[in-house]
């Protein structure tokens, strides 16, 4: 329908807008989406064949190409079974190899197009490493497509027959529509569900092996391997549809957590250092270290929102006290109330020392949306603190350990070429080690914290 709308409504070409669509993570959802697309393509037969449809020839050709794409898996499977049945083993293997090579055409074009580097700042090693990954990825896609080819053929055949029946016989259910999100919510993601969905692949696998066997063709030896893959394709589809570990059950090692907390603590140090009364408690856009240290005295709604979120995170990680977090949020919100606005929206850039908007004056919908989303999160955190303030008064002792870790790293970075400073370095290292042990003891026995401190 999108193609038809573009042909009749004559939608203009837009090249400066990037659209990002969420891709299904489960094969069953992706298959349902392709089934829906194929039905939509075949419902355009009236516009393709109708002499008075007013559809341009180029658009009709695109519609025909979509039909060609939907029947390709069907004819691929039919050609494979015919080769296994009618040809002896050697010729059947050659015929099958030719069919497989046709699947490599599109990936080959992409790889050939990527042989020459697009950017001069990429090293040859990095370029060929990326090219090797593209080759491996393309090969894996072709292998997966071969495994799922029987189900694709069955699914496309079902979509075509179903659409033709509804189009010319029943005239019903032509607007059947099930979005990818609905398909994702419905149905299980277990092995039994995939075999119930992909039973057609099993049927084609059995038939594809039975036909050359009954025909007493030596091509059955070639058919055996493909039939095995097609009969087992539901299990493979179920396996590749499993939720990624990072999606549902993120497991992070203690070393990674330690490293990430250290990076986050160093990041908070930027806000801790530069968000001051001099800048009206607003975050400067950046800090230049060389050739001379310079703070950029400007900020944006997105910068402000990110800073407020960082205050919440700093409190959650135990880097600042609850009162410090509340005071920081209150100071920044008070500044926002006094800043010039247009119909409630902040301008895109302000001078942090004068609070005057910077020219050219304009409103950014993106920045306003970012700030609105950040304020929703900040409001939720403040509401949580207000409901049980006593719970949040006690800080996270891990925050102290983060600071100790950074002090350890900073001490290690100091040059060790002056003998007079070595005793001082050792005393500092001992003090930091003692602080770490004390925090670990308090973590192990929190009820003794007030006594030990």
Angle separating helix axes 199-214 and 233-240, nearest 10 degrees? 150
Span 337-366, mean pLDDT? 92
- Each domain of the chain, given as residue ranges in start order, spans 2-248, 254-395
- Residue predicted with more confidence, 58 or 357: 357
Residue 437: alpha-carbon gap to chain centroid: 40
Half-sphere exposure of residue 230: CA atoms within 13 angstroms, side-chain side: 26
Strand (E) or helix (H) holding 298: strand 298-299
Residue 439 confidence (pLDDT) above 70? no
Could you write out the three-class secondary structure of 407-447? Answer: HHHHHHHCCCCCHHHHHHHHHHHHHHHHHHHHHHHHHHCHH
The phi, psi pair for 13, rounded to 5°, reads -80, 125
Distance in angstroms (rounded) separating the CA atoms of residues 253 and 260: 11
> What pLDDT was estimated at residue 276?
92
List Cα–Cα distances, 234 to 62, 188, 195, 253, 272, in angstroms: 32, 13, 5, 33, 54
> What pLDDT was estimated at residue 187?
63
Q: Mean pLDDT lowest for which of 204-213, 367-376, 416-425? A: 416-425
> What pLDDT was estimated at residue 277?
92
Span 216-228, mean pLDDT? 93
- C-alpha distance across the termini of the chain, in Å: 71
> What pLDDT was estimated at residue 255?
85
- Residue predicted with more confidence, 270 or 440: 270
Q: Do the Cβ atoms of 6 and 59 come closer than 8 Å?
A: yes
How many helices (H) and strands (E) the chain has is answered by 22, 6
Opening angle at CA 425, ends 423 and 430, nearest 5: 95
Distance in angstroms (rounded) separating the CA atoms of residues 96 and 90: 10
Residue 99 confidence (pLDDT) above 70? yes
Q: What percent of the chain has pLDDT over 70?
A: 86
Q: How confident is the model at residue 453 (pLDDT cuts 50, 70, 90)?
A: very low
Look up the pTM and report it. 0.59
């Amino acid at each position: 329908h999108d193609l038809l709308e573009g042909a009749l409504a004559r939608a203009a070409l837009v090249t400066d807008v990037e659209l990002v669509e969420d891709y299904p993570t489960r094969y069953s959802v992706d298959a349902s989406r392709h089934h829906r697309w194929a039905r939509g393509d075949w419902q355009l037969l009236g516009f393709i064949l109708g002499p008075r449809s007013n559809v341009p020839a180029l658009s009709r050709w695109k519609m025909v190409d979509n039909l060609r794409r939907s029947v390709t898996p069907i004819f691929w499977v039919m050609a494979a079974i015919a080769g296994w049945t009618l040809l002896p083993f050697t010729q059947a293997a050659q015929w099958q190899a030719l069919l497989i090579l046709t699947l490599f055409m599109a990936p080959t074009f992409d790889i050939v197009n990527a042989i020459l580097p697009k950017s001069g700042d990429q090293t040859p090693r990095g370029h060929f490493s990326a090219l090797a990954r593209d080759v491996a990825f393309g090969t894996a896609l072709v292998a997966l497509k071969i495994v799922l080819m029987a189900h694709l053929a069955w699914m496309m055949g079902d979509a075509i027959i179903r659409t033709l029946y509804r189009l010319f016989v029943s005239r019903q259910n032509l607007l059947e529509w099930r979005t990818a999100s609905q398909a994702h919510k419905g149905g299980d993601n277990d092995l039994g569900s995939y075999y119930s969905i992909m039973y057609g692949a099993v049927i084609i696998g059995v038939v594809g092996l039975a036909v050359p066997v009954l025909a007493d063709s030596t091509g059955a030896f070639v058919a055996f391997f493909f039939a095995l893959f097609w009969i087992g394709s539901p299990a493979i589809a179920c396996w590749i549809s499993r939720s990624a570990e990072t999606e549902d059950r993120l497991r992070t090692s203690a070393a990674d957590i330690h490293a990430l907390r250290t990076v986050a603590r160093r990041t908070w140090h930027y806000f801790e250092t530069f968000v001051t009364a001099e800048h009206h408690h607003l975050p400067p856009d950046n800090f230049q270290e060389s050739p001379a240290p310079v703070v950029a005295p400007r900020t944006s709604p997105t910068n402000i929102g990110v800073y407020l979120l960082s205050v919440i995170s700093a409190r959650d990680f135990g880097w600042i006290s609850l009162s410090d977090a509340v005071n920081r949020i209150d100071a920044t919100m008070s500044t926002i109330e006094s800043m010039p606005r247009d119909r409630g929206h902040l301008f895109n850039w302000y001078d942090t020392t004068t609070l005057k908007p910077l020219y050219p004056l304009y409103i950014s919908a993106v920045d306003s949306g970012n700030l609105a989303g950040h304020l929703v999160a900040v409001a939720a955190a403040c509401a949580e603190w207000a409901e049980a303030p006593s719970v949040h008064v006690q800080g996270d002792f891990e925050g102290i350990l983060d600071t100790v870790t950074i002090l350890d790293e900073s001490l290690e970075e100091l040059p060790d070429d002056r003998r007079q400073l070595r005793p001082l370095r050792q005393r500092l290292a001992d003090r930091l080690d003692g602080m770490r042990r004390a925090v670990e003891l308090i973590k192990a026995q929190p009820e003794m914290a007030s006594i030990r401190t």
